[in-house]
Chains A and B, each alone.
Chain A
């Protein structure tokens, strides 16, 4: 198993699990997660900082050229790491309604 696939030392509340599920469902930036989960910005962004610190998610800036082409500022995208996926899988067992609340990208595409 890869080093980052090991379940990390993290504290995952229901709210945080929702954010992980939203990221897995293709909502990859802060505002879209807010819209999907109904959580306010003061909860979503700090939770994402903690998830990033615990290496469950990783952030990456969008290419400047793409943003310029669409005449908007670039945004920061987040995605799950391998460890994040393991943790999310464990969270789904704990919170069975999570997947029904926010379907994953694979489920949506079926």
Chain B
């Protein structure tokens, strides 16, 4: 290699090491930074001098220097943590089971509060108790690929409704028009004009859908006005979610109508962008442009529905045979709880692949600890899982349904994936946290110290040593499990060790 290249390479390595130290120094509190950097830079000079002298393997030496510089980050973090003064009540709780329970409870409260605030999640939860009647089908002309387009002529509705049917025992029809609507008597608002999608439906539509909507007799209302139902979207967008909307009168075309209520978004599961529903006599509904036909299946009809769709051949209004397609209104969408439980089951199956499910000596060393102590440990583990699982459920709901633009089908996949990921890594954390808690006081062990080097594993022990701040135990975790040291081990410290922990013992639960 050319001398210039060697010099350049050495310069680059020095620059890298100096950069590592400078980066680590940013973690150190400002008042200690200068001295800290001075000490590490001085030590680096000596380390480089010792590791990269002539005769030594250059590559190995550089690796040692880099490993030395990486340790600077741990030292900087240690100083940063020491410099931070935690709030006194929390400082006393550091590493205790109470701290863990408090954090998980706060996470649960926060995720639940967000779920309550997000409109998408609220809407999904409001739909929980409601199920679309599985006997309902939307009938379209055969060959129509888009079910949002109206294809049924009003004559078909009138013709079928008047005949005795084997497969259907009820029909409802609605058609969509764009109309100008003006609200003239809303308290505190000036007259406003809107362009809405008005659905004129046969009077039995809501009954057929199984919705408990009852209209007062229009003739009994003041001025014989027709009652209409607003969509939730319009109610929020154009009426600012006015709680006193019921009874407000609107001018719909040339007629006056009265608002009877609001239909929650997604509750009707019908195609078409409907802003307002107006129930009209069947004779009025079954006239005009093409619309949508909803039919209720008899037992015989249901037996013919093998899939979501069924082909229908029937006589049209002119007694000529026509082909139709019946599509079930029941959307295939598993309940959110089912998705959650399925993901949880998958995560439980995958868990042993990413972490050991063993609790170490927790279950095999009963003589070291008392019965109440063991009961406390296992209760704490159960409480952690019991708090974590609802946190994951609410966060997955927030992610899946928080953004309403995703669509419900995509939301199912988002919930599935996010629940799986959070359950997998959440349960891994629960087990890892439990393994690093002192079996005596159930507090987290601290001050991890790496002992030995990987290259010396076959000669000596290589791993991490941690200690219980209460002075009950030392924990040894092997970095590379060997036949003589395969799993972590607890070293129980008796009273003769207390001089090393003067005044710092924690009570045993």
Contacts and interface: CB of A to CB of B under 8 A. Distances in A.
Nearest to B467: A13
Contacts of B210: none
Give chain A's interface secondary structure class.
helix
A72 B45 contact: yes
B42 A74 contact: yes
Contacts of A15: 449, 451, 465
B73 A42 contact: yes
Contacts of A8: 502
Given A9-B502, A46-B74, A72-B46, A14 B474 contact: yes
B445 to A, nearest CB: 10
B500 A94 contact: yes
B132 interface: no
Interface string B462-486: 0001110101001000000000000
B499 interface: yes
Given A30-B43, A76-B39, A39 B68 contact: no
A49 B46 contact: no
Interface in A21-54: 29-31, 34-35, 38-47, 49-50, 53
A42 B71 CA distance: 4
A7 interface: yes
B359 interface: no
Contacts of B47: 31
Contacts of B42: 72-76
Contact of A75 (B46, B451, B452): B46
B337 interface: no
A2 to B, nearest CB: 17
Interface residues of A, number: 37
B500 A53 contact: no
A42 B448 CA distance: 10
Interface residues of B, number: 42
A5 to B, nearest CB: 14
A13 B75 contact: no
Interface string A67-80: 00000111110000
A12 interface: yes
Give chain B's interface secondary structure class.
helix
Contacts of B70: 41-42
B68 to A, nearest CB: 5
Given A13-B474, A15-B449, A53 B82 contact: yes
B449 A16 contact: yes
A11 B451 contact: no
B453 interface: yes
B447 A50 contact: yes
Contact of B71 (A35, A40, A87): A40
Contact of B41 (A43, A73, A91): A73
A66 interface: no
Contacts, number: 114
Contacts of A13: 447, 449, 465-467, 474
Interface string B31-47: 00000000101110111
Contacts of B456: 38
A11 B500 contact: yes
Nearest to B503: A9
Interface string B440-455: 0000001101111100
For B447, B450, B466, B496, which residue has the most chain A Cβ atoms within 10 angstroms?
B447
Contacts of A76: 39, 42
B270 interface: no
Given A41-B72, A42-B73, A11 B45 contact: no
A49 B82 contact: yes
B497 A94 contact: yes
B75 A90 contact: no
Contacts of B82: 49-50, 53
A87 B504 CA distance: 15
Contacts of B500: 10-12, 87, 90-91, 94
A42 to B, nearest CB: 3
Interface in B491-507: 496-497, 499-504
B245 interface: no
A10 B500 CA distance: 6
A14 B74 contact: no
B299 interface: no
A41 B503 contact: no
B449 A47 contact: yes
Contacts of B43: 29-31, 75
A40 B39 contact: no
Nearest to B70: A42
Contacts of A75: 39, 42-43, 46
Contacts of B496: 94
A17 B484 CA distance: 25
7 contacts: A10-B500, A11-B501, A13-B467, A30-B43, A50-B82, A72-B49, A76-B39
Interface of A: 7-16, 29-31, 34-35, 38-47, 49-50, 53, 72-76, 87, 90-91, 94
Given A11-B471, A44-B71, 16 more contacts: A9-B504, A11-B469, A11-B504, A13-B467, A29-B46, A38-B453, A39-B450, A41-B74, A42-B73, A43-B71, A43-B451, A50-B447, A53-B82, A72-B42, A90-B499, A94-B496
Interface of B: 39, 41-43, 45-47, 49-50, 67-68, 70-75, 78-79, 82, 446-447, 449-453, 456, 465-467, 469, 471, 474, 496-497, 499-504
